[in-house]
Amino acid sequence: MIIIANVLQSLFIPHTIGSFLPSLPLDSIFSTQGIMVMLLAAYAGAMWMFLTSAPKVHTVMVSDLEIARQLYEGLLDLPAAEVPLHYYYNYEQTIGATGVDPLYLSSSPSLAGSRMTNASDGLWYQLKKNTQLHVITGASIGTKNQQRHVCFDRDCLEMILMRVETRGLKFKIRNQKPLNFLVKDYEGRIIEMAEVAN
């Protein structure tokens, strides 16, 4: 007995994706809601990647920007850093600071308008691989005309203190909590580094 089978016809049967994955409801995945869920998940993933790759920025307010440049570039040998992307587009205005009058930001009304016109102003340094230091003006002169560097973040001052120690600069810790220490530069100037406690 000979059975004739048409093998070629069974080879060219069109198969759909659903025939390979029968338990996957493809009609609901490719529906409007399914596509919206996939787009939201992709957006969340992109935002997560952006936020985890964005550098952490510490800000230090100083009384004299040129003396600060000499300290951070010359004595502490910090490399210059690129301004992070989210600082280019008026970042401070997107977080609700648009209603703050510049007169409230400064004790001197004449300096309020000239301090910081753009978030990218100031000096930018690389502290660690994914940590940057933003140095801006705004601190008052300390006692005995000492330069003051003021920071709200203890981690930042600890990294600067570690850099001061490794460079062999003279320093004196005045207080541990909040952290306050003095640094003496090669020209004999005393620079006070102070953590502002809440």
pLDDT tens column, 86-117:
555 444 444 444 444 443 444 443 443 334 44
Give per-residue pLDDT as tens, 45-88: 988 887 777 778 888 999 889 999 999 998 998 998 887 765 55
pLDDT at 9: 56
Residues 103-136: b if buried by 16+ CB within 10 A, e if exposed: eeeeeeeeeeeebbeebeebbbbebeeebbbbbb
Average pLDDT, the chain: 76
pLDDT at 98: 45
* Sign of the CA dihedral running 66, 123, 188, 147: positive
